[in-house]
Structure formats: C-alpha cells, structure tokens
Amino acid sequence: MQNSNYIKVFTGNFIMAQRIVNDLEKENINAVVKDEEKSARLSGFGTTILGQQDLFVHKDELEKATLIIKRLSEELETYM
C-alpha cells in the first residue's frame, strides 16, 4: 500500500488480527485486512506464510489505533 493514506499497524496470525480488528471497530476505527495467503490462493499462486495477516489503518487514526493495540498486547502478556 505505497502512496496510500493507510499505515500498517500489525502483522500476525488470523486470531490476533481478528481480535485487534474487533477492538478497533469498538472505537469506530475501520482496519483494512490484507491476507496474502487468501490473495495468492485466489489468483492461483502459493504462499509460504500461512495464516499471516497485515492490518492497516488510516493515518488520521494511527495514534488511537496504536494505543489500542498496545493496550491489548499488554493485556495478553499478563495471561502468558
């Protein structure tokens, strides 16, 4: 997403990506999910990283989104 108003805020597995998307949506932040595996499969190519997703948010929402992701990461660390 070069030359875009969207900035990557997360790369990771499907479960974590969906959890972050849900938390962002609660704050009215719409994330764009890029799934290389799904894109490759649909176009007939393979991929080496299964289940890996990238999340992007609009640059105007970057600060708020970063705080939400940081809070979620800290919450999850307490359970590990």
Question: pLDDT, tens digit, for every residue of 23-60?
Answer: 999 999 999 999 876 545 555 555 555 678 999 999 99
CA dist 47 and 41 (Å) reads 8
Q: Render the burial of 13-43: b for 16+ CB within 10 Å, e for the rest.
A: eeebbeebbebbeeeebebeebbbbeeeeee
Structure tokens at 55: 């999340």
pLDDT at position 1: 47
> 6-79 in CATH: which number?
3.30.70.1530
Q: Tell me what the mean pLDDT of segment 13-32 comes to.
A: 95
State the chain's mean pLDDT as an integer. 85
CA dist 15 and 32 (Å) reads 15
